[in-house]
Structure 1
């Protein structure tokens, strides 16, 4: 059976036509400032892929508000602003963060939803100390390494329309949660939630993170391509962030190129590839839309769920 039988498939050319007259309100300098490490993306990609996507999301936001108004009218409730929530999932190194930041920037420039916030589920990982005590440092990013209940409680409060909700802050430099550091989410029009685990189903919980999503996106690519991007990113970080003595990965800063490639490959095989196959990839068909990347990082296929 075709794994995408419940999706409509579009090539890049056809998808680009759905932009309609959506204006490009993003400069080259802005794009370069928000793209991730080792991520390759052009304004043409924004025009052909992301502008049609933001137009679709804009239409869904409007429809969601209308439906919410109908429900409020039926229940005789006073209208309350509730954020439209978007989930973005996919493997480590596949480009989730860049996609999230581009969407945040583009969506904030529509008149009806100018306040767009972004959180990553990294903030809901257990602290390094807790992971070490639980023997889970080698499974960081796996479902069991997250405080899932804390993440669900956060989603409940945001979706309930609370004015101020705190989100924990994660540091990639320290490779840990920053204690006593919180980001305030203040009732945005749209909230983007990005992370490898956002579409996963944990059998120990009756409520899932994805239950709160109004729209979900999965960034897809061949595993060999993602592995290549991960190793390239590791080599780049070795020359930059890893040089910082405060970096958790500072121990790798003096490796030779061959040694660095070997270490990055070991990490990929032992942790990231396993997590991808066991936990992330199986969630792909839960997404409303799948963006399929080629080796050059460009999105070549788009799959939109029919039902």
Structure 2
């Protein structure tokens, strides 16, 4: 699918000049290594040329948002209330959303030291495997119907209403299921980053987009054949890391025939992840405010900024 037309597109060289002269990278190589998602690739050069200008753009949006909140309250003759600024990050499985989300959280936390910047993923809003099995849709895990979208929308409404101590279900990729204990806590952040494949989708039984809650949204993009390559590379790493952990979901594949495991991964990509990408995720790309387009080796080569 061709890139949407309602964006201004910039090369990496053009984009890296779109920020103040004193906007410098404050991330070390060690920190970058610690936040990079499994098998993702990112460099300090990427931070300086792509993410530092993006941070500056987010500062602009946040500044105007905070003034709008104050002006609307003043118009109504009431005191302004604390209303979090929400950033949504979407894209395919294995495209690198998590790295982008963690890096932006780190950069914004550094540049906004007096504000709380928190991060969640929507994986925790998947129905538990037992419920997916009961509904007969375990093979469609990740598709829109596998998420408790009502719970996700309620959560976002609670965040925007500035409710304290909101519990968010936590998902474990090691056990491949939602955990029943140790939820994440979102507690009145100034900025909340929400990362997930479904954040720009319209649930079939609701009349509101999840994206309606976001004040800025990002879509991480790449050609499907590249994403498949990254997905399979990540699967191989997961097999290697699961060998010493019988509790790991991937242990059963790690100790078996590797060729058969890789064939299974190919089928999952083709029948689940690629189908989900084409039918439900990619069609939401043109709702994003910004597109980060990747090429070989996870290198961002093009940035699209929505015109309208």
**Superposition pairs for residues 98-137 of structure 1, below 5 Å?**
98-111=99-112, 114-137=115-138
TM-score by length of 2: 0.96
Distance 1:137 1:9, change over 3 A: same
Work out whether residues 243 and 253 of structure 1, in 8 Å CA contact, stay in contact via their aligned partners in 2. no
The two structures, once aligned, show a CA RMSD in angstroms of 1.5
> Residue 143 in 1 paired to residue 144 in 2?
yes
**Superposition pairs for residues 168-207 of structure 1, below 5 Å?**
168-207=169-208
Q: Secondary structure at the match of 2:296?
A: coil
Instruction: Find the counterpart in structure 2 of residue 16 from structure 1.
Output: 16
Q: Secondary structure at the match of 1:170?
A: strand
Q: Secondary structure at the match of 1:262?
A: helix
> Residue 219 in 1 paired to residue 220 in 2?
yes
Work out whether residues 238 and 250 of structure 2, in 8 Å CA contact, stay in contact via their aligned partners in 1. no
Q: Which runs of 5+ in 1 are unaligned?
A: none
Work out whether residues 242 and 248 of structure 2, in 8 Å CA contact, stay in contact via their aligned partners in 1. yes
Q: Cα distance, 1:180 vs. partner?
A: 3.0
Work out whether residues 19 and 48 of structure 1, in 8 Å CA contact, stay in contact via their aligned partners in 2. no
Q: Secondary structure at the match of 1:162?
A: coil
With 172-181 and 42-51 compared, the bigger mean Cα shift is at: 172-181
With 172-181 and 124-133 compared, the bigger mean Cα shift is at: 172-181
Q: Cα distance, 1:102 vs. partner?
A: 0.3
Q: Cα distance, 1:257 vs. partner?
A: 4.0
With 195-204 and 58-67 compared, the bigger mean Cα shift is at: 195-204
Work out whether residues 235 and 260 of structure 1, in 8 Å CA contact, stay in contact via their aligned partners in 2. no
Distance 1:2 1:252, change over 3 A: closer
Instruction: Find the counterpart in structure 1 of residue 59 from structure 2.
Output: 58
Instruction: Find the counterpart in structure 2 of residue 7 from structure 1.
Output: 7
Q: How many residues align?
A: 307
Distance in 2 between residues matched to 1:52 and 1:241, nearest whole Å: 38
Q: Secondary structure at the match of 1:108?
A: helix
**Superposition pairs for residues 65-76 of structure 1, below 5 Å?**
65-76=66-77
Q: Cα distance, 1:284 vs. partner?
A: 0.5
Work out whether residues 120 and 195 of structure 2, in 8 Å CA contact, stay in contact via their aligned partners in 1. yes
Q: Which runs of 5+ in 2 are unaligned?
A: none
Work out whether residues 107 and 113 of structure 1, in 8 Å CA contact, stay in contact via their aligned partners in 2. no
**Superposition pairs for residues 206-245 of structure 1, below 5 Å?**
206-241=207-242, 243-245=244-246
> Residue 77 in 1 paired to residue 75 in 2?
no
TM-score by length of 1: 0.97
Distance in 1 between residues matched to 2:112 and 2:270, nearest whole Å: 45
Distance in 2 between residues matched to 1:283 and 1:113, nearest whole Å: 34
